[in-house]
Amino acid sequence: MEKKPQFPHRRWNPLRQSWVMVSPHRTQRPWQGEVGQKTAPSAVAYDPKCYLCPGNQRAGGSVNPTYDGIFTFVNDYSALLPDSPLVTEAQASPMLVAQPARGLCKVLCFHPDHSLTLARMTQPEIRRVVDAWTREYQELGGLDWIDYVQIFENRGAMMGASNPHPHGQIWSTGFVPDEPAAETLAQSDHLARTGHCLLCDYLAAEQAAQERIIFQNEHFAALVPWWAVWPFEVLIVSRRHLGALPELNEAERDGLADVLKRMTTRFDNLFETPFPYTMGFHQSPTDAGAHPEWHFHAHFYPPLLRSATVRKFMVGFEMLGMPQRDITPEDAAQRLIACSEEHFWPRT
């Protein structure tokens, strides 16, 4: 592939309506940072001290069933509560605004085996998780006071995940949180202005460019977005225009399980480590709106930069000015394209 000019520039993120600064010339400077080591994956299938393993007691006192598939429960330490008061006290100044925030936070165990990860689960096992996510979106989103269902997985100590047991979270809220609210505005604007879906147009542009697409199956594309902030940030986009999990047909649910397995395997193989990340789905709000503008997708935000332990920090200019990256999204995509889809640590 032809080498792109390596000069500083900024790129527009139309989904977030924000910029990211790219400084590829800096990848030539000598590295003086930390040198990492490979991380050994967890090897125990059952941990008597894990609060998510089957049959164990959680800190709140509840005992997990001896589940053999998925297991879901209301978070014992929820960030939001369903019965929060509906009105907040009047504040002394309009500069001190607060609003009530109601919600319901759940935990979803992906598998009873403590040592597994999405990458090392089979495609049918991940499909079971896709079905559970879909059910949760329907049930929680179906409550008239829930306006958004945020499904996510926080993986690895580097991302603050306290427990390696394969699990994710579902925070459903009585309001649309900032990130999906910004994406709702951007997608609505694009639809009103062009008559097209923003992500359908974006995916078509990426398919034409063929520079940042890591791989595709029949139903989903995995790519490093043009505007990626994190070194190996990835966007998973459905190839058909649809707004939320319940609109996926059977084949598309299998396709989602497939794309998640293959992407997380490539991530793990990149530095031969269980790759840390925050991954989550963005989909139609469950408020009263119809949301024809919404296009279902998942974001992977991994912190690692150049080894199993060397991470990117969002500090300095990035906190005060704007996000910045050195390695280009095209180079990151090439690195991920070169990764095998056979896991470096096979499951026996």
Catalytic residues: 167
Q: Is 158 in the site for Zn ion (CB under 5 A)?
A: no
Strands of the chain (E only): list them. 9-13, 18-22, 71-74, 103-109, 148-155, 167-173, 213-216, 220-223, 234-238, 277-282, 297-301, 324-325
Find all residues with CB under 8 Å of 225, minimum gap 6, and list them. 13, 212, 233, 234, 235, 329
CB of 81 to Zn ion, least distance (A): 26
Residue 101 or 191 having the CB closest to Zn ion? 191
Residue with tokens 């997990």: 64
Q: Does 282 bind Zn ion (CB under 5 A)?
A: yes
Question: Is residue 53 part of the contact set for Zn ion (CB under 5 A)?
Answer: yes
- Angle in degrees, 0-180, between the axes of helices 178-194 and 198-209, rounded to the nearest 10: 80
User: Shortest gap between Cβ of 197 and Zn ion (angstroms)?
Assistant: 3
The piece of 34-42, 161-169, 268-276, 313-321 that touches Zn ion (CB under 5 A) is 161-169
For Zn ion, the binding residue among 9, 58, 128, 241 (CB under 5 A) is 241
Distance of CA 63 to the CA centre of its chain: 29
Secondary structure class of 337 (helix, strand, coil): helix
- CB nearer to Zn ion: pick between 12 and 317: 12
112 with 136: CB under 8 angstroms? Answer: no
Please say which residue, 24 or 156, places its beta carbon nearer to Zn ion. Answer: 156
Query: According to CB under 5 A, which one of 176, 197, 257, 304 is a site residue for Zn ion?
Result: 197
CA 157 from centroid of its chain's CA atoms: 16
Kindly tell me which of 151 and 197 has the beta carbon lying closer to Zn ion: 197
User: In the bound complex, what is the minimum distance in angstroms from residue 241's beta carbon to Zn ion?
Assistant: 3
191 binds Zn ion (CB under 5 A): no
Q: Is 114 in the site for Zn ion (CB under 5 A)?
A: yes
The span of 100-108, 135-143, 183-191, 336-344 binding Zn ion (CB under 5 A) equals: 183-191
Q: Does 52 bind Zn ion (CB under 5 A)?
A: yes
CB-based burial label for 327 (10 Å; 0-12, 13-18, 19+): buried
For the bound state, the minimum distance from the C-beta of residue 277 to Zn ion, rounded and expressed in Å, comes to 15
Site for Zn ion in 132-151 (CB under 5 A): none
Interatomic CA distance for residues 128 and 67, integer angstroms: 13
Give the Cα separation of 176 and 273 in Å (integer).
35
Interaction between residue 219 and Zn ion (CB under 5 A): no
Q: Considering CB under 5 A, how many residues would be counted as binding Zn ion?
A: 13
CA distance 228 to 231: 7
List of residues contacting Zn ion (CB under 5 A): 47, 50, 52-53, 114, 165, 183, 197, 199-200, 241, 282, 295
